[in-house]
Amino acid sequence: MKLFERLKADAAPQWASYVDHEFVRQLGKGDLPLSAFKHYLVQDYLFLIQFARAYALGIYKSPTVGDMRQSLEGVKAILDVELDLHLELCGSWGMTREDIESAPENTPTMAYTRFVLDAGMSGDLLDLQAALAPCVIGYAEIGSALRNAGAATDGNPYSRWIEEYGSDAYQDLAKGFANWIDETGDVYLTEARYARLLSMFEKASRLEADFWQMGLDAAD
């Protein structure tokens, strides 16, 4: 089995608590309180700034130029596309970039970003990939499931978000990431390392679920 599929299968409970979280279900039905979504999205903007740094660290930790280019794709996807979605949505509620960037980081935001940055700093590229993988691949899985379930309709206030993460471009980005961690695994994975990689993948999935919960807890 390829590395990503193996990690996902072994972390099945943590993965399910992330991609099937109550926040995601309500988002799909369109009945998620707007206060919860707004809170989530502002924290997610702050999260993405740190995630762009994590992908930049991936460039630094890359053994090959090909790996550097893959890491660069992650940086570009965040800085050139994803942050703009957040600014667009926040703008539609009258929030400016300054409002968002001056919001205080919540503890789940700090916990998740600190974890990923530390995994990359203390380890090699494969460690960093194990910590990053749930992010892009999980969101692509959620976006595609919601889109296929017909959730991105005019009646759903979150259709723009669903369209973005269900888009072909985002699906391709996630597939590219899965292939990339599999290829790195082909070169650097040993059985002795696997337990640590799985533990990081499980933690990142748990921190994703905590991130959704932070949004739900902020509902009016």
Ligand X SMILES: Cc1ncc(CO)c(N)n1
Cβ partners under 8 Å of residue 154, min gap 6: none
Q: Give me the least distance between CB of 71 and ligand X, in Å please.
A: 14
Give the SS3 label for residue 213. helix
**By CB neighbour count within 10 A (0-12 exposed, 13-18 middle, 19+ buried), where does 155 fall?**
exposed
Residue span binding ligand X (CB under 6 A) among the ranges 10-18, 40-48, 62-70, 151-159: 40-48
Question: Measuring CA to CA, how many Å separate 87 from each of 19, 42, 52, 53, 58?
Answer: 24, 9, 16, 19, 25
Is 208 considered catalytic here? yes
Round to whole Å and give the CA distance between 115 and 122. Answer: 11
Q: Which of 139, 158, 161, 180 binds ligand X (CB under 6 A)?
A: 139
Is 90 considered catalytic here? no
Residue type present at position 24: V
Select 139 or 180, whichever has its Cβ closest to ligand X: 139
Residue type present at position 72: L
Q: Give me the least distance between CB of 47 and ligand X, in Å please.
A: 5
Residue span binding ligand X (CB under 6 A) among the ranges 30-38, 134-142, 151-159, 195-203: 134-142
Cβ partners under 8 Å of residue 218, min gap 6: 35, 36, 39, 40
The angle formed by the CA atoms of residues 141, 65 and 54, to the nearest 5 degrees, is 50
Q: Give me the least distance between CB of 10 and ligand X, in Å please.
A: 20
Which phi-psi region, left, alpha or beta, contains residue 150 (left: φ > 0; alpha: ψ -120 to 50)? left
Which of the residues 82, 135, 164, 202 is marked catalytic?
A: 135
Question: Per CB under 6 A, does 142 bind ligand X?
Answer: no
Select 90 or 136, whichever has its Cβ closest to ligand X: 136
Q: Which of 208, 209, 210, 215 binds ligand X (CB under 6 A)?
A: 208
Question: Per CB under 6 A, does 15 bind ligand X?
Answer: no
Question: Per CB under 6 A, does 47 bind ligand X?
Answer: yes
Contact predicate 49/86, CB 8 Å: no
Q: Which of 3, 75, 116, 136 binds ligand X (CB under 6 A)?
A: 136
Size of the site for ligand X (CB under 6 A): 9
CA-atom Rg of the chain in angstroms: 17
One character per residue 145-184, x = contact with ligand X (rule: CB under 6 A): ----------------------------------------
Kindly list the catalytic residues.
135, 208
* Interface residues toward ligand X, by CB under 6 A: 44, 47-48, 82, 135-136, 139, 208, 211
